[in-house]
Structure 1
């Protein structure tokens, strides 16, 4: 895509993410929402559906030629999806459990995938009024009250010995992750909610690594991958193979790892074994 078109689509995604996020925040502040259980036993709320409606409507109005793949939409078959050169990849609320639990750790994710690669990533964290965004080759950025800056992963003073800050899920036993890490390193932990916020904290240097064990969808990593990559980090499957987009019948991700400073010997630190 020409740079001008990329920037236009990035600005659109930013506006839409903020609009949907502010609508979600209004519901969150009032505490007036309905919760449901999906077929896969994961939770969804009336706020997820509202955010999804806003995002779908705005993107279809502005870009009727670009298909939308959202967690909360009916999903097209692989045969149909393989005809898409580019598409929007949406998670209306990443961290629905955190929304329900009122931890504040939830976000709106919008990515643009082109030729099976995230080229635009936008993540809006409503309670923190923070907007993280990136486009391929143009760096990663954060906008929040009193702040508008380019962000980078943290550079460890000694990549082979410095203490590593691990972002860990509030909903997952600490030992489940720590048992898969090299015991020779020193670690600190940072409890957080949604996948996307952990990735953003790594992108801006507040944490160094995050290992996700369990079911996620491609919409959980699309925007994150663009932002983290442009900030100098990397997202890979936990066996260090690349994540894929729109190339399989299933839209589920494998277990994956978000890594900051690329000088760190992550393959030595992460001793992954699939349960």
Structure 2
């Protein structure tokens, strides 16, 4: 099979995400899914497994030479993964708890990791029929029923004094997040569900920052990091060190921050 261009790989990922999203919405609208609990006590549903099946089948058919690492399949060892120059990184439903709670805040995440960094990112929000995507070095974009085109982070009028909009979890006390922020700033909060949707809202200028405290996996940030970075923002570990991909035995992320306008003195604001 001839080598795919980055644009072709992006289209393959977009098609997989949309197909999975359509299947997810059918199960969501009909309430026809089962809920389970993983060994780590996190939730998973038959919709997660169905979406994973659809995505993996699509990627294997179109890119049989590219390995797949998904939250919902057995993970290859670091010894095997270290041989991969590139691979697909998947979270079939980011925000499973929100899917179960019927908040609508869940998304499909697909990233292509190349040389241990996100090269392509695709996030599909099925309830909003919104598709966010990026290729490294080519900008970030959104397609939705309302509008389509390039997206970018919000530029604050005064990076040192403007009100900062914080995307926060629907299930996390507001005070927990505000307590990590410099008391000299003024903040507004925007409650949302999945990590990737918060990142997308920052990428398109609807929020300025998001701090994630708690367990996540590399599949929770791969697609987001590509999109946010191409929109002019950044994702770091909460101590402002870079996130790593496919370089450790564990696939768990450290606590991390998603940041918009890079002229803002974030290291002075976030008191981690």
What TM-score bracket applies, with the shorter chain setting the length?
over 0.9
Q: Deviations over 1:158-206 (max 9, x none)?
A: 0000000000001112121111100000000000000000000000000
Equivalents in 2 of 1:79, 1:169: separation in Å? 35
2:193 and 2:265 mapped to 1: Cα distance?
A: 26
- Counterpart residue number, 1:64: 64
Within 5 Å, which residues of 2 pair with 1:1-275?
5-272=5-272
> Structure 2: how far apart are the matches of 1:31 and 1:209?
33
Q: 2 CA distance for matches of 1:26 and 1:197?
A: 20
1:245-265 Cα distance to aligned partner (Å, 9 max, x none): 000000000000000000000
Superimposed CA distance per residue, residues 96-120 of structure 1 (whole angstroms, 9 cap, x where no aligned partner): 0000000000000000000000000
Q: Distance in 2 between matches of 1:172 and 1:156?
A: 26
CA-to-aligned-CA distance 1:78-127 (integer Å, 9 cap, x gap) = 00000000000000000000000000000000000000000000000000
Q: Give CA deviations for 1:23-43 in whole Å, capped at 9, x if unaligned.
A: 001110111110000000000
SS at match of 1:55: helix
- 1:107-158 CA-to-partner distances (Å, cap 9, x unmatched) read 0000000000000000000000000000000000000014111000000000
Distance 1:118 1:218 in 2: 10
Root mean square deviation of aligned Cα: 0.9
Q: C-alpha distance in 2, partners of 1:134/1:61?
A: 22
Aligned residues: 270
**3-state SS in 1 of match to 2:89:** strand
How far off is 1:17 after superposition? 0.3
Distance 1:40 1:146 in 2: 39
* Unaligned segments of structure 1, at least 5 residues: none
Distance (Å, rounded) in 2 between the aligned partners of 1:97 and 1:175: 21
3-state SS of 2:5 partner: helix
Give TM-score scaled by structure 1 length. 0.97
SS for the counterpart of 1:134 is: strand
